[in-house]
A and B are shown apart, each in its own frame.
Chain A
Amino acid sequence: MDDPKGSTAGAAVAAKDLSVYVPEAKRKPGEIGITVITFLLGAFGYYFALDMTSGEYSSPSVFPKFASTLIMACSAVNFWKAVRRERPDASAPSLAQYLLPMDVLVVLSLLVIYCVALPHLRFIGSSYAFMVAGMVYLQRGKHIVRALLISAGSLAVLVAVFRYLFLVILP
Protein backbone atom coordinates (compact mmCIF):
# COMPACT_ATOMS: atom_id res chain seq x y z
CA MET A 1 0.00 0.00 0.00
CA ASP A 2 1.15 3.48 -0.69
CA ASP A 3 0.62 4.66 2.83
CA PRO A 4 2.02 2.41 5.51
CA LYS A 5 0.11 4.07 8.30
CA GLY A 6 -3.25 3.67 6.60
CA SER A 7 -6.45 5.16 7.81
CA THR A 8 -5.82 4.31 11.41
CA ALA A 9 -2.90 6.72 11.51
CA GLY A 10 -4.64 8.87 14.08
CA ALA A 11 -5.44 5.90 16.26
CA ALA A 12 -2.04 4.31 15.76
CA VAL A 13 -0.27 7.50 16.80
CA ALA A 14 -2.60 7.86 19.75
CA ALA A 15 -1.96 4.28 20.79
CA LYS A 16 1.77 4.84 21.32
CA ASP A 17 1.67 5.05 25.05
CA LEU A 18 5.33 4.52 25.94
CA SER A 19 4.79 2.20 28.88
CA VAL A 20 2.85 -0.27 26.74
CA TYR A 21 4.48 0.44 23.39
CA VAL A 22 5.92 -2.32 21.26
CA PRO A 23 8.13 -1.42 18.29
CA GLU A 24 6.59 -2.29 14.91
CA ALA A 25 9.18 -4.90 13.96
CA LYS A 26 8.61 -6.94 17.09
CA ARG A 27 5.77 -9.30 17.71
CA LYS A 28 3.15 -7.90 20.05
CA PRO A 29 2.10 -9.89 23.09
CA GLY A 30 -0.85 -12.04 22.06
CA GLU A 31 -0.41 -11.40 18.36
CA ILE A 32 -0.30 -15.12 17.59
CA GLY A 33 -3.25 -15.67 19.89
CA ILE A 34 -5.52 -13.34 17.97
CA THR A 35 -4.83 -15.13 14.68
CA VAL A 36 -5.82 -18.39 16.36
CA ILE A 37 -9.00 -16.75 17.63
CA THR A 38 -9.97 -15.44 14.20
CA PHE A 39 -9.20 -18.85 12.69
CA LEU A 40 -11.48 -20.55 15.21
CA LEU A 41 -14.18 -17.98 14.45
CA GLY A 42 -13.96 -18.92 10.77
CA ALA A 43 -14.03 -22.61 11.65
CA PHE A 44 -17.13 -22.17 13.82
CA GLY A 45 -18.72 -20.11 11.08
CA TYR A 46 -18.15 -22.91 8.61
CA TYR A 47 -19.29 -25.60 11.00
CA PHE A 48 -22.61 -23.92 11.71
CA ALA A 49 -23.09 -23.08 8.04
CA LEU A 50 -23.20 -26.82 7.39
CA ASP A 51 -26.62 -26.90 9.07
CA MET A 52 -28.07 -24.36 6.66
CA THR A 53 -29.89 -25.19 3.46
CA SER A 54 -27.37 -25.99 0.78
CA GLY A 55 -27.15 -27.85 -2.47
CA GLU A 56 -27.64 -25.03 -4.93
CA TYR A 57 -25.42 -22.16 -5.95
CA SER A 58 -28.00 -19.76 -4.57
CA SER A 59 -28.49 -21.47 -1.19
CA PRO A 60 -28.45 -19.36 1.96
CA SER A 61 -25.35 -21.22 3.14
CA VAL A 62 -23.11 -20.19 0.23
CA PHE A 63 -22.01 -16.80 1.51
CA PRO A 64 -21.48 -17.81 5.15
CA LYS A 65 -19.27 -20.66 3.93
CA PHE A 66 -17.38 -18.36 1.61
CA ALA A 67 -16.78 -15.74 4.32
CA SER A 68 -15.74 -18.41 6.85
CA THR A 69 -13.26 -19.95 4.43
CA LEU A 70 -11.83 -16.52 3.70
CA ILE A 71 -11.42 -15.84 7.42
CA MET A 72 -9.63 -19.14 7.94
CA ALA A 73 -7.32 -18.60 4.96
CA CYS A 74 -6.42 -15.05 5.98
CA SER A 75 -5.92 -16.10 9.61
CA ALA A 76 -3.46 -18.72 8.44
CA VAL A 77 -1.47 -16.05 6.59
CA ASN A 78 -1.61 -13.74 9.61
CA PHE A 79 -0.46 -16.59 11.83
CA TRP A 80 2.51 -17.32 9.62
CA LYS A 81 3.47 -13.65 9.49
CA ALA A 82 3.18 -13.28 13.25
CA VAL A 83 5.32 -16.34 13.92
CA ARG A 84 8.05 -15.04 11.63
CA ARG A 85 8.31 -11.77 13.47
CA GLU A 86 11.06 -11.14 16.03
CA ARG A 87 10.30 -12.28 19.54
CA PRO A 88 9.44 -9.50 21.92
CA ASP A 89 12.27 -8.20 24.18
CA ALA A 90 12.42 -9.16 27.78
CA SER A 91 11.46 -5.59 28.63
CA ALA A 92 8.29 -5.79 26.54
CA PRO A 93 5.01 -5.42 28.44
CA SER A 94 3.20 -8.60 29.40
CA LEU A 95 -0.04 -9.53 27.65
CA ALA A 96 -2.19 -8.03 30.38
CA GLN A 97 -0.16 -4.82 30.51
CA TYR A 98 -0.30 -4.47 26.77
CA LEU A 99 -4.02 -5.11 26.43
CA LEU A 100 -5.28 -3.38 29.51
CA PRO A 101 -3.25 -0.50 30.87
CA MET A 102 -4.66 0.84 34.14
CA ASP A 103 -6.88 3.55 32.62
CA VAL A 104 -8.42 1.21 30.08
CA LEU A 105 -8.94 -1.47 32.68
CA VAL A 106 -10.74 0.94 34.97
CA VAL A 107 -12.97 2.30 32.20
CA LEU A 108 -13.76 -1.20 30.97
CA SER A 109 -14.67 -2.30 34.47
CA LEU A 110 -16.88 0.75 34.80
CA LEU A 111 -18.56 -0.21 31.52
CA VAL A 112 -19.20 -3.75 32.70
CA ILE A 113 -20.58 -2.49 36.01
CA TYR A 114 -22.71 -0.07 34.02
CA CYS A 115 -24.21 -2.90 31.96
CA VAL A 116 -24.98 -4.90 35.06
CA ALA A 117 -26.44 -1.93 36.91
CA LEU A 118 -28.50 -0.60 34.01
CA PRO A 119 -31.60 -2.78 34.58
CA HIS A 120 -31.58 -1.98 38.32
CA LEU A 121 -30.60 1.68 38.52
CA ARG A 122 -32.42 2.64 35.28
CA PHE A 123 -30.76 4.71 32.61
CA ILE A 124 -30.47 8.02 34.41
CA GLY A 125 -29.05 6.63 37.63
CA SER A 126 -26.47 4.34 36.12
CA SER A 127 -25.39 6.80 33.42
CA TYR A 128 -24.88 9.56 35.96
CA ALA A 129 -22.84 7.26 38.17
CA PHE A 130 -20.78 6.14 35.19
CA MET A 131 -20.00 9.64 33.99
CA VAL A 132 -19.10 10.95 37.43
CA ALA A 133 -16.97 7.92 38.27
CA GLY A 134 -15.26 8.06 34.87
CA MET A 135 -14.49 11.76 35.06
CA VAL A 136 -13.32 11.69 38.66
CA TYR A 137 -11.04 8.75 38.01
CA LEU A 138 -9.58 10.17 34.79
CA GLN A 139 -8.88 13.50 36.49
CA ARG A 140 -7.24 11.63 39.33
CA GLY A 141 -9.71 12.73 41.98
CA LYS A 142 -9.54 16.43 41.18
CA HIS A 143 -12.45 18.69 40.21
CA ILE A 144 -15.12 16.49 41.74
CA VAL A 145 -17.74 19.23 41.83
CA ARG A 146 -17.06 20.06 38.22
CA ALA A 147 -17.53 16.41 37.27
CA LEU A 148 -20.83 16.29 39.16
CA LEU A 149 -22.10 19.39 37.39
CA ILE A 150 -20.94 18.52 33.89
CA SER A 151 -22.39 15.02 34.16
CA ALA A 152 -25.71 16.37 35.36
CA GLY A 153 -25.79 18.98 32.61
CA SER A 154 -24.94 16.68 29.74
CA LEU A 155 -27.30 13.99 31.01
CA ALA A 156 -30.11 16.54 31.25
CA VAL A 157 -29.55 17.57 27.63
CA LEU A 158 -29.44 13.96 26.43
CA VAL A 159 -32.55 12.97 28.33
CA ALA A 160 -34.40 16.04 27.10
CA VAL A 161 -33.52 15.33 23.47
CA PHE A 162 -34.18 11.60 23.51
CA ARG A 163 -37.05 11.36 25.95
CA TYR A 164 -39.07 14.43 25.12
CA LEU A 165 -38.16 15.25 21.54
CA PHE A 166 -37.75 11.76 20.16
CA LEU A 167 -40.17 10.07 22.55
CA VAL A 168 -37.68 7.31 23.28
CA ILE A 169 -38.71 5.50 26.45
CA LEU A 170 -35.40 5.18 28.29
CA PRO A 171 -34.52 1.86 29.87
Chain B
Amino acid sequence: MKKVALALTLLLLVTGSALAAYPEKNLQGYIMWGAGGAMDNVTRAIVPIAQEHLGKTIILQNRTGATGAIATTFVANQPADGYSILFGAENPNLYKVTGLSQIDYDQFDPVFLMMANVGVVLVGKDSPYTTYKELIEAAASGKTITMGSTGPGGLPFVATTMIEKIHDLKFNKMQFDGEGPCITALMGGHIDAVAVGLLAAANFIKSDSVRGLAVISKERIDSIPAVPAITEAYEEYVPYLPWGAFFGAFVRKGTPAEALEALQSAFQKGYEDPRFDEFAKSTGGVKLGLTGEKAREYIQQNKSVSAWLLHDAGGAKHSPEEFGIPRP
Protein backbone atom coordinates (compact mmCIF):
# COMPACT_ATOMS: atom_id res chain seq x y z
CA MET B 1 0.00 0.00 0.00
CA LYS B 2 2.78 2.31 0.99
CA LYS B 3 4.70 1.45 -2.15
CA VAL B 4 1.71 2.16 -4.32
CA ALA B 5 1.21 5.48 -2.66
CA LEU B 6 4.87 6.33 -3.15
CA ALA B 7 4.72 5.30 -6.78
CA LEU B 8 1.63 7.42 -7.28
CA THR B 9 3.25 10.41 -5.66
CA LEU B 10 6.30 10.00 -7.84
CA LEU B 11 4.16 9.66 -10.91
CA LEU B 12 2.30 12.78 -9.92
CA LEU B 13 5.54 14.63 -9.42
CA VAL B 14 6.84 13.58 -12.82
CA THR B 15 3.69 14.24 -14.78
CA GLY B 16 2.48 16.85 -12.34
CA SER B 17 3.27 19.89 -14.41
CA ALA B 18 1.59 18.45 -17.49
CA LEU B 19 -1.44 17.35 -15.53
CA ALA B 20 -1.78 20.50 -13.54
CA ALA B 21 -2.42 23.04 -16.21
CA TYR B 22 -2.30 22.09 -19.84
CA PRO B 23 -1.49 24.22 -21.75
CA GLU B 24 1.19 25.92 -19.75
CA LYS B 25 2.96 27.47 -22.75
CA ASN B 26 2.12 28.56 -26.28
CA LEU B 27 1.34 25.89 -28.83
CA GLN B 28 2.68 25.40 -32.33
CA GLY B 29 0.33 24.80 -35.23
CA TYR B 30 1.63 23.49 -38.56
CA ILE B 31 -0.58 23.96 -41.60
CA MET B 32 0.18 21.52 -44.39
CA TRP B 33 -0.95 23.75 -47.24
CA GLY B 34 0.11 27.24 -48.27
CA ALA B 35 -1.23 30.60 -47.16
CA GLY B 36 -4.50 31.61 -48.77
CA GLY B 37 -5.69 28.08 -49.58
CA ALA B 38 -8.78 26.41 -48.14
CA MET B 39 -6.84 24.51 -45.45
CA ASP B 40 -5.14 27.72 -44.41
CA ASN B 41 -8.39 29.67 -44.32
CA VAL B 42 -10.24 27.11 -42.24
CA THR B 43 -7.35 26.94 -39.78
CA ARG B 44 -6.96 30.66 -39.44
CA ALA B 45 -10.71 31.01 -38.95
CA ILE B 46 -11.07 28.53 -36.10
CA VAL B 47 -7.76 28.91 -34.29
CA PRO B 48 -8.25 32.46 -33.00
CA ILE B 49 -11.59 31.38 -31.46
CA ALA B 50 -10.33 28.06 -30.10
CA GLN B 51 -7.34 29.65 -28.44
CA GLU B 52 -9.61 32.00 -26.51
CA HIS B 53 -10.88 28.89 -24.74
CA LEU B 54 -7.42 27.42 -24.42
CA GLY B 55 -5.91 30.45 -22.73
CA LYS B 56 -2.68 30.24 -24.74
CA THR B 57 -1.71 31.24 -28.25
CA ILE B 58 -1.41 28.73 -31.06
CA ILE B 59 1.43 30.05 -33.22
CA LEU B 60 0.58 29.10 -36.79
CA GLN B 61 2.96 28.46 -39.61
CA ASN B 62 2.55 27.02 -43.06
CA ARG B 63 4.86 24.09 -43.61
CA THR B 64 4.13 23.14 -47.15
CA GLY B 65 5.52 20.68 -49.64
CA ALA B 66 4.96 17.16 -50.93
CA THR B 67 1.13 17.49 -50.59
CA GLY B 68 1.51 17.89 -46.85
CA ALA B 69 3.91 15.00 -46.24
CA ILE B 70 6.55 17.42 -44.97
CA ALA B 71 4.29 18.83 -42.25
CA THR B 72 2.91 15.38 -41.36
CA THR B 73 6.37 13.89 -40.96
CA PHE B 74 7.56 16.90 -39.02
CA VAL B 75 4.76 16.83 -36.45
CA ALA B 76 5.04 13.04 -36.14
CA ASN B 77 8.64 13.62 -35.02
CA GLN B 78 7.78 16.22 -32.39
CA PRO B 79 7.23 15.15 -28.77
CA ALA B 80 3.73 13.78 -28.13
CA ASP B 81 2.98 16.40 -25.50
CA GLY B 82 0.06 18.14 -27.16
CA TYR B 83 2.03 21.26 -27.98
CA SER B 84 2.42 20.54 -31.68
CA ILE B 85 -0.77 20.47 -33.70
CA LEU B 86 -1.01 19.37 -37.31
CA PHE B 87 -3.64 21.11 -39.40
CA GLY B 88 -4.19 18.69 -42.19
CA ALA B 89 -6.51 17.79 -45.03
CA GLU B 90 -7.37 14.42 -46.57
CA ASN B 91 -4.09 14.06 -48.48
CA PRO B 92 -2.19 11.81 -45.99
CA ASN B 93 -4.81 9.13 -46.67
CA LEU B 94 -3.02 8.39 -49.93
CA TYR B 95 0.60 8.63 -48.78
CA LYS B 96 0.99 4.90 -48.27
CA VAL B 97 -0.51 3.75 -51.56
CA THR B 98 1.36 6.36 -53.58
CA GLY B 99 4.53 5.43 -51.75
CA LEU B 100 5.10 9.04 -50.77
CA SER B 101 5.54 8.43 -47.07
CA GLN B 102 4.81 5.78 -44.44
CA ILE B 103 3.52 8.37 -41.99
CA ASP B 104 -0.17 9.17 -42.26
CA TYR B 105 -3.10 9.71 -39.88
CA ASP B 106 -2.54 6.26 -38.36
CA GLN B 107 0.19 7.94 -36.32
CA PHE B 108 -2.15 10.70 -35.17
CA ASP B 109 -5.16 11.25 -32.95
CA PRO B 110 -7.79 13.44 -34.51
CA VAL B 111 -8.50 16.47 -32.32
CA PHE B 112 -11.33 17.78 -34.43
CA LEU B 113 -12.57 17.63 -38.00
CA MET B 114 -13.86 21.10 -38.77
CA MET B 115 -15.20 21.02 -42.27
CA ALA B 116 -15.80 18.78 -45.26
CA ASN B 117 -15.45 19.79 -48.83
CA VAL B 118 -17.49 18.07 -51.51
CA GLY B 119 -16.44 17.91 -55.11
CA VAL B 120 -18.33 19.80 -57.78
CA VAL B 121 -18.02 19.38 -61.53
CA LEU B 122 -17.72 22.69 -63.35
CA VAL B 123 -17.75 23.87 -66.95
CA GLY B 124 -17.22 27.35 -68.34
CA LYS B 125 -20.17 29.75 -68.39
CA ASP B 126 -20.37 29.62 -72.20
CA SER B 127 -19.88 25.88 -72.38
CA PRO B 128 -22.16 23.86 -74.70
CA TYR B 129 -22.76 21.39 -71.85
CA THR B 130 -25.68 22.33 -69.63
CA THR B 131 -26.08 19.10 -67.72
CA TYR B 132 -23.72 16.52 -66.31
CA LYS B 133 -25.21 13.85 -68.60
CA GLU B 134 -24.38 15.91 -71.68
CA LEU B 135 -20.78 16.24 -70.60
CA ILE B 136 -20.36 12.53 -69.95
CA GLU B 137 -22.13 11.56 -73.16
CA ALA B 138 -19.96 13.91 -75.18
CA ALA B 139 -16.86 12.37 -73.66
CA ALA B 140 -18.21 8.87 -74.26
CA SER B 141 -18.87 9.68 -77.92
CA GLY B 142 -15.15 10.19 -78.39
CA LYS B 143 -15.08 13.98 -78.26
CA THR B 144 -11.92 15.32 -76.61
CA ILE B 145 -12.74 16.90 -73.27
CA THR B 146 -9.81 18.60 -71.54
CA MET B 147 -10.15 18.34 -67.78
CA GLY B 148 -8.17 20.32 -65.28
CA SER B 149 -6.48 18.19 -62.65
CA THR B 150 -3.92 18.29 -59.85
CA GLY B 151 -1.35 15.89 -58.47
CA PRO B 152 -2.40 12.45 -57.21
CA GLY B 153 -4.08 12.77 -53.84
CA GLY B 154 -5.69 16.11 -54.55
CA LEU B 155 -9.48 16.23 -54.73
CA PRO B 156 -9.60 17.06 -58.47
CA PHE B 157 -7.38 14.10 -59.27
CA VAL B 158 -9.35 11.54 -57.29
CA ALA B 159 -12.70 12.93 -58.45
CA THR B 160 -11.62 12.81 -62.10
CA THR B 161 -10.37 9.26 -61.59
CA MET B 162 -13.75 8.34 -60.07
CA ILE B 163 -15.62 9.75 -63.08
CA GLU B 164 -13.33 8.02 -65.55
CA LYS B 165 -13.65 4.72 -63.79
CA ILE B 166 -17.44 4.77 -63.41
CA HIS B 167 -18.12 5.73 -67.02
CA ASP B 168 -15.10 3.96 -68.46
CA LEU B 169 -13.82 7.16 -70.10
CA LYS B 170 -10.52 8.83 -70.72
CA PHE B 171 -10.29 12.60 -70.49
CA ASN B 172 -7.45 14.67 -71.82
CA LYS B 173 -5.93 16.16 -68.67
CA MET B 174 -4.14 19.41 -68.05
CA GLN B 175 -2.38 19.44 -64.71
CA PHE B 176 -2.29 22.45 -62.40
CA ASP B 177 -0.78 22.99 -59.00
CA GLY B 178 -4.01 23.71 -57.16
CA GLU B 179 -7.76 24.14 -57.39
CA GLY B 180 -7.59 27.92 -57.76
CA PRO B 181 -5.48 27.80 -60.94
CA CYS B 182 -7.88 25.15 -62.33
CA ILE B 183 -10.84 27.52 -61.93
CA THR B 184 -8.86 30.40 -63.44
CA ALA B 185 -8.02 28.27 -66.46
CA LEU B 186 -11.66 27.24 -66.77
CA MET B 187 -12.80 30.88 -66.75
CA GLY B 188 -10.21 31.71 -69.38
CA GLY B 189 -11.46 28.88 -71.56
CA HIS B 190 -8.21 26.93 -71.51
CA ILE B 191 -9.86 23.74 -70.23
CA ASP B 192 -13.37 22.35 -70.82
CA ALA B 193 -14.28 21.10 -67.37
CA VAL B 194 -12.88 20.46 -63.93
CA ALA B 195 -13.91 18.81 -60.67
CA VAL B 196 -12.84 20.87 -57.65
CA GLY B 197 -13.80 21.32 -54.02
CA LEU B 198 -16.88 23.41 -53.36
CA LEU B 199 -14.97 25.71 -50.99
CA ALA B 200 -12.90 26.97 -53.87
CA ALA B 201 -15.78 27.11 -56.32
CA ALA B 202 -18.91 28.26 -54.46
CA ASN B 203 -18.60 31.98 -55.12
CA PHE B 204 -17.80 31.45 -58.78
CA ILE B 205 -20.90 29.30 -59.20
CA LYS B 206 -23.13 31.77 -57.35
CA SER B 207 -21.96 34.63 -59.53
CA ASP B 208 -22.40 32.60 -62.75
CA SER B 209 -18.73 32.91 -63.66
CA VAL B 210 -18.70 29.17 -64.12
CA ARG B 211 -21.49 26.62 -64.42
CA GLY B 212 -21.84 23.90 -61.80
CA LEU B 213 -23.08 20.66 -63.36
CA ALA B 214 -23.14 18.33 -60.38
CA VAL B 215 -22.01 18.04 -56.81
CA ILE B 216 -20.31 14.74 -56.01
CA SER B 217 -22.67 13.90 -53.18
CA LYS B 218 -25.90 12.04 -52.54
CA GLU B 219 -27.87 15.22 -51.88
CA ARG B 220 -27.83 18.76 -53.13
CA ILE B 221 -25.83 21.20 -51.01
CA ASP B 222 -27.63 24.01 -49.18
CA SER B 223 -25.29 26.78 -50.30
CA ILE B 224 -25.80 26.01 -54.02
CA PRO B 225 -29.26 24.41 -54.25
CA ALA B 226 -29.47 24.85 -58.02
CA VAL B 227 -26.64 22.40 -58.72
CA PRO B 228 -27.98 18.82 -58.87
CA ALA B 229 -26.43 15.95 -56.96
CA ILE B 230 -24.40 13.62 -59.16
CA THR B 231 -26.58 10.67 -58.16
CA GLU B 232 -29.58 12.38 -59.79
CA ALA B 233 -27.89 11.72 -63.12
CA TYR B 234 -26.10 8.46 -62.40
CA GLU B 235 -26.91 5.99 -59.63
CA GLU B 236 -23.49 4.35 -60.08
CA TYR B 237 -21.86 6.89 -57.79
CA VAL B 238 -23.75 5.81 -54.66
CA PRO B 239 -21.26 3.22 -53.36
CA TYR B 240 -18.45 5.78 -53.40
CA LEU B 241 -20.28 8.42 -51.40
CA PRO B 242 -20.01 10.30 -49.13
CA TRP B 243 -16.58 11.24 -50.33
CA GLY B 244 -14.72 14.52 -50.33
CA ALA B 245 -11.98 16.47 -48.71
CA PHE B 246 -11.87 17.34 -45.04
CA PHE B 247 -9.99 19.76 -42.86
CA GLY B 248 -8.97 18.80 -39.36
CA ALA B 249 -6.61 19.28 -36.46
CA PHE B 250 -4.44 16.38 -35.26
CA VAL B 251 -1.92 15.56 -32.56
CA ARG B 252 0.57 12.72 -32.38
CA LYS B 253 -0.65 9.42 -30.98
CA GLY B 254 0.36 9.04 -27.37
CA THR B 255 -0.53 12.59 -26.42
CA PRO B 256 -1.73 12.68 -22.77
CA ALA B 257 -5.51 12.30 -22.56
CA GLU B 258 -5.84 15.54 -20.58
CA ALA B 259 -4.16 17.52 -23.32
CA LEU B 260 -6.22 15.87 -26.04
CA GLU B 261 -9.45 16.55 -24.15
CA ALA B 262 -8.52 20.16 -23.51
CA LEU B 263 -7.81 20.66 -27.20
CA GLN B 264 -10.98 18.86 -28.26
CA SER B 265 -13.16 20.97 -26.02
CA ALA B 266 -11.46 24.19 -27.15
CA PHE B 267 -11.98 23.33 -30.82
CA GLN B 268 -15.54 22.17 -30.13
CA LYS B 269 -16.30 25.56 -28.60
CA GLY B 270 -14.58 27.35 -31.45
CA TYR B 271 -16.60 25.28 -33.90
CA GLU B 272 -19.89 26.20 -32.21
CA ASP B 273 -19.04 29.89 -32.15
CA PRO B 274 -21.26 32.02 -34.43
CA ARG B 275 -18.15 33.62 -35.91
CA PHE B 276 -17.08 30.26 -37.30
CA ASP B 277 -20.62 29.68 -38.58
CA GLU B 278 -20.41 32.88 -40.53
CA PHE B 279 -17.11 31.77 -42.04
CA ALA B 280 -18.53 28.39 -43.02
CA LYS B 281 -21.52 30.05 -44.63
CA SER B 282 -19.46 32.47 -46.70
CA THR B 283 -17.13 29.77 -48.02
CA GLY B 284 -19.86 27.30 -48.91
CA GLY B 285 -18.20 24.41 -47.09
CA VAL B 286 -20.03 21.72 -45.18
CA LYS B 287 -19.59 21.84 -41.42
CA LEU B 288 -18.39 18.53 -40.07
CA GLY B 289 -17.72 18.87 -36.35
CA LEU B 290 -16.49 15.33 -35.68
CA THR B 291 -14.15 14.27 -32.93
CA GLY B 292 -12.83 11.10 -31.30
CA GLU B 293 -14.02 7.76 -32.69
CA LYS B 294 -16.48 9.38 -35.14
CA ALA B 295 -13.68 11.39 -36.68
CA ARG B 296 -11.53 8.31 -37.03
CA GLU B 297 -14.30 6.39 -38.80
CA TYR B 298 -14.85 9.28 -41.18
CA ILE B 299 -11.17 9.38 -42.04
CA GLN B 300 -11.04 5.61 -42.59
CA GLN B 301 -14.05 5.68 -44.93
CA ASN B 302 -12.47 8.46 -46.97
CA LYS B 303 -9.21 6.56 -47.04
CA SER B 304 -10.72 3.35 -48.31
CA VAL B 305 -12.64 5.08 -51.14
CA SER B 306 -9.70 7.19 -52.30
CA ALA B 307 -7.07 4.48 -51.96
CA TRP B 308 -9.05 1.88 -53.88
CA LEU B 309 -10.12 4.34 -56.56
CA LEU B 310 -6.51 5.30 -57.12
CA HIS B 311 -5.46 1.67 -57.14
CA ASP B 312 -8.15 0.60 -59.60
CA ALA B 313 -7.24 3.47 -61.89
CA GLY B 314 -3.64 2.31 -61.89
CA GLY B 315 -2.40 5.42 -60.10
CA ALA B 316 -1.16 3.71 -56.94
CA LYS B 317 2.30 2.27 -56.44
CA HIS B 318 1.15 -0.13 -53.72
CA SER B 319 -2.11 -2.01 -53.30
CA PRO B 320 -4.28 -0.76 -50.42
CA GLU B 321 -4.44 -4.41 -49.34
CA GLU B 322 -0.81 -4.26 -48.22
CA PHE B 323 -1.81 -1.77 -45.57
CA GLY B 324 -5.05 -3.48 -44.61
CA ILE B 325 -7.27 -0.79 -46.11
CA PRO B 326 -10.72 -2.39 -46.72
CA ARG B 327 -12.56 -1.99 -50.01
CA PRO B 328 -15.52 0.40 -49.73
Q: Are A and B in direct contact (Cβ within 8 Å)? A: yes
- Chain A residues packing against B (C-beta within 8 Å): 167, 169
**Which of chain A's residues has its CB closest to B28's CB?**
A169
How big is the B interface, by class? under 10
- B59 close to A (CB within 8 Å): yes
Chain B residues with CB below 8 A from A167, complex form: 59
- Chain B residues packing against A (C-beta within 8 Å): 28, 59
Of the A-B pairs whose beta carbons lie under 8 Å apart in the complex, a sample of 3, sorted by A's number, is A167-B59, A169-B28, A169-B59
Give CA–CA (A167, B57) in the complex, Å.
Answer: 11
Chain A residues with CB below 8 A from B59, complex form: 167, 169
Q: Smallest Cβ distance from A86 to chain B, in angstroms?
A: 48
Chain A residues with CB below 8 A from B28, complex form: 169
Q: Smallest Cβ distance from B325 to chain A, in angstroms?
A: 25
**Which of chain B's residues has its CB closest to A167's CB?**
B59
Q: Smallest Cβ distance from A162 to chain B, in angstroms?
A: 13
Chain B contact surface mostly: strand
Chain B residues with CB below 8 A from A169, complex form: 28, 59
Q: Smallest Cβ distance from B184 to chain A, in angstroms?
A: 20
Give CA–CA (A54, B28) in the complex, Å.
Answer: 41
Give CA–CA (A167, B26) in the complex, Å.
Answer: 11
Give CA–CA (A169, B28) in the complex, Å.
Answer: 9
**Which of chain A's residues has its CB closest to B173's CB?**
A58
**Which of chain B's residues has its CB closest to A58's CB?**
B175
**Which of chain B's residues has its CB closest to A168's CB?**
B61
**Which of chain A's residues has its CB closest to B59's CB?**
A167
Q: Smallest Cβ distance from B174 to chain A, in angstroms?
A: 9
Q: Smallest Cβ distance from A111 to chain B, in angstroms?
A: 26
Give CA–CA (A167, B59) in the complex, Å.
Answer: 7
Give CA–CA (A87, B210) in the complex, Å.
Answer: 68
Give CA–CA (A164, B10) in the complex, Å.
Answer: 37
Q: Smallest Cβ distance from A30 to chain B, in angstroms?
A: 36
Give CA–CA (A13, B59) in the complex, Å.
Answer: 46
The 3 closest A-B pairs by CB, nearest first: A167-B59, A169-B28, A169-B59
Give CA–CA (A129, B28) in the complex, Å.
Answer: 29
**Which of chain A's residues has its CB closest to B57's CB?**
A167
**Which of chain B's residues has its CB closest to A60's CB?**
B175
Q: Smallest Cβ distance from B134 to chain A, in angstroms?
A: 28
Give CA–CA (A88, B213) in the complex, Å.
Answer: 73
Q: Smallest Cβ distance from A168 to chain B, in angstroms?
A: 8
Q: Smallest Cβ distance from A166 to chain B, in angstroms?
A: 10
Give CA–CA (A167, B28) in the complex, Å.
Answer: 10
Q: Smallest Cβ distance from B255 to chain A, in angstroms?
A: 19
Give CA–CA (A169, B60) in the complex, Å.
Answer: 11
Q: Smallest Cβ distance from B256 to chain A, in angstroms?
A: 22
Give CA–CA (A167, B27) in the complex, Å.
Answer: 11
Give CA–CA (A4, B224) in the complex, Å.
Answer: 63
Give CA–CA (A169, B84) in the complex, Å.
Answer: 13
Give CA–CA (A107, B28) in the complex, Å.
Answer: 35
Q: Smallest Cβ distance from A56 to chain B, in angstroms?
A: 11
Give CA–CA (A169, B63) in the complex, Å.
Answer: 14
Q: Smallest Cβ distance from B16 to chain A, in angstroms?
A: 25
Q: Smallest Cβ distance from A155 to chain B, in angstroms?
A: 22
Give CA–CA (A120, B209) in the complex, Å.
Answer: 56
Give CA–CA (A110, B245) in the complex, Å.
Answer: 49
Give CA–CA (A99, B44) in the complex, Å.
Answer: 49
Q: Smallest Cβ distance from A117 to chain B, in angstroms?
A: 22
Give CA–CA (A169, B59) in the complex, Å.
Answer: 9
Give CA–CA (A142, B254) in the complex, Å.
Answer: 55
Q: Smallest Cβ distance from A169 to chain B, in angstroms?
A: 7
Give CA–CA (A63, B28) in the complex, Å.
Answer: 38
